Amino acid sequence: MKKLSILLLLVFTSITTLAQTKEELTKELGEKKATIGKLQGEANGIQAKLDALPGWRKGAFGTVGASLSGFNNWYARTAPDASAGNIGVTVNGFANLIEDKFFWRNSANINLGWVKLDNKVITGDEDFEAATDVFSITSLYGRNISKKWAVSALGEYRTTIIDNFNNPGYLDLGAGFTWTPTSHLVVVMHPGNYNFVFSSGDTVFESSLGAKVVADYTNKYKGLSVKSNLSLFQSYESSNLSNWTWTNSFGYTLYKGIGLGFEFGLRGNRQEAANFQGVSLNEADNQTQSYWLFGINYSL
């Protein structure tokens, strides 16, 4: 009986000790997390001060997506012998000079994609063909008139570079005001803007005077890089000559700058629709254009 009492006492003491140890460790863990949260807040504050200092801010991230497949004597298919491939590359970069009295913001976006389908039964073109072809570059200069407002001038060029380079090509030149509510968001409002449209041959493309609005958001949330850009031109001459493009890029870093990336873009352009369909501007079926890419991402 005495031995049993001693054994029960030892078991009770062990359980009590483990419970106390668990409570102590849980309490210590909570204190450490609170300390980490406080230090992270302080670090974010220091980073915000660094971001507000004059000088250059540069950065870039891109995504590569690829898929390859092949079939040999796969009789369930109509074409038992075939191979296919899809390759896409997107790059987003910026270089911004921020000073007390002025700023100069520059950015570029490139999205290129190729696709290949080789049906070995039916002979044809076996080379990779362009699927996605987007190129844009923007330069914005502004003189500050207050903490968030500036008088500004913008130059923006958009085209394709694999197929039909500068056919069409769009060059916007204009002036007006820029609103910068935060260091990550820039909104351009230029009531005086001329939209030059370059094309070859007899086409429906026309240049015109209008208003330009650009909203650009760039930020990082821990390992997530985000960039969203909306570029809109509203023609004063005719709504048929207006156009807009909205691109969104996301990159999540998993290990040493490498991670997953996703990009999608939307566009509305009646002139492009009419030129492709071979009809007049009023007859064009101006459906929203789109593209997307998912793959491996790398951030600089």
What is the full DSSP assignment across 153-171?
EEEEEEE-SSSSTTTTEEE
Do 134 and 186 fall within a single domain?
yes
**Greater pLDDT, 22 or 157:** 157
Q: Is the peptide bond before 168 cis (omega within 30 degrees of 0)?
A: yes
Count Cα atoms within 13 angstroms, Cβ side, for 24: 6
> What average pLDDT score do residues 139-161 get?
96
Among 13, 38, 53, the domain-final residue is: 53
Do 49 and 63 fall within a single domain?
no
Do 64 and 35 fall within a single domain?
no
User: pLDDT-based confidence at 25, cuts 50/70/90?
Assistant: confident
pLDDT beyond 90 at 26? no
Q: 155 - beta bridge partners?
A: 139, 173
Of 50-59, 63-72, 84-93, 209-218, the range with the highest mean pLDDT is 209-218
Cα dist. 279→17, 87, 165, 176, 290 in Å?
A: 84, 32, 22, 35, 21
pLDDT of residue 206: 94
| CATH code, 68 | 2.40.230
pLDDT beyond 70 at 9? no
pLDDT beyond 70 at 126? no
Q: Which residues, 6 or more positions from 236, have their beta carbon under 8 angstroms from its beta carbon?
A: 208, 209, 210, 211
pLDDT of residue 154: 97
User: pLDDT-based confidence at 181, cuts 50/70/90?
Assistant: very high
**Greater pLDDT, 41 or 18:** 41
Among 9, 38, 53, the domain-final residue is: 53
**Percent of the chain at pLDDT exceeding 90:** 46
Do 93 and 29 fall within a single domain?
no
Q: How many structural domains are present in the chain?
A: 2
Residue 77, token pair as written in the block: 């298919």
Do 6 and 92 fall within a single domain?
no
Instruction: Give the C-alpha separation, 227 to 212, whole Å.
Output: 20
pLDDT of residue 198: 94
Among 10, 32, 53, the domain-final residue is: 53
67 CB burial (10 A radius; 0-12, 13-18, 19+): exposed
Do 49 and 66 fall within a single domain?
no
pLDDT beyond 70 at 246? yes
Do 175 and 253 fall within a single domain?
yes
Do 245 and 270 fall within a single domain?
yes
Question: DSSP character for 247?
Answer: E
**Percent of the chain at pLDDT exceeding 70:** 85
Do 41 and 180 fall within a single domain?
no
pLDDT beyond 60 at 205? yes
Mean pLDDT of the chain: 85
Do 19 and 161 fall within a single domain?
no
Model pTM score: 0.77
Q: Which domain holds residue 79?
A: 57-299
Do 41 and 66 fall within a single domain?
no
Do 47 and 62 fall within a single domain?
no
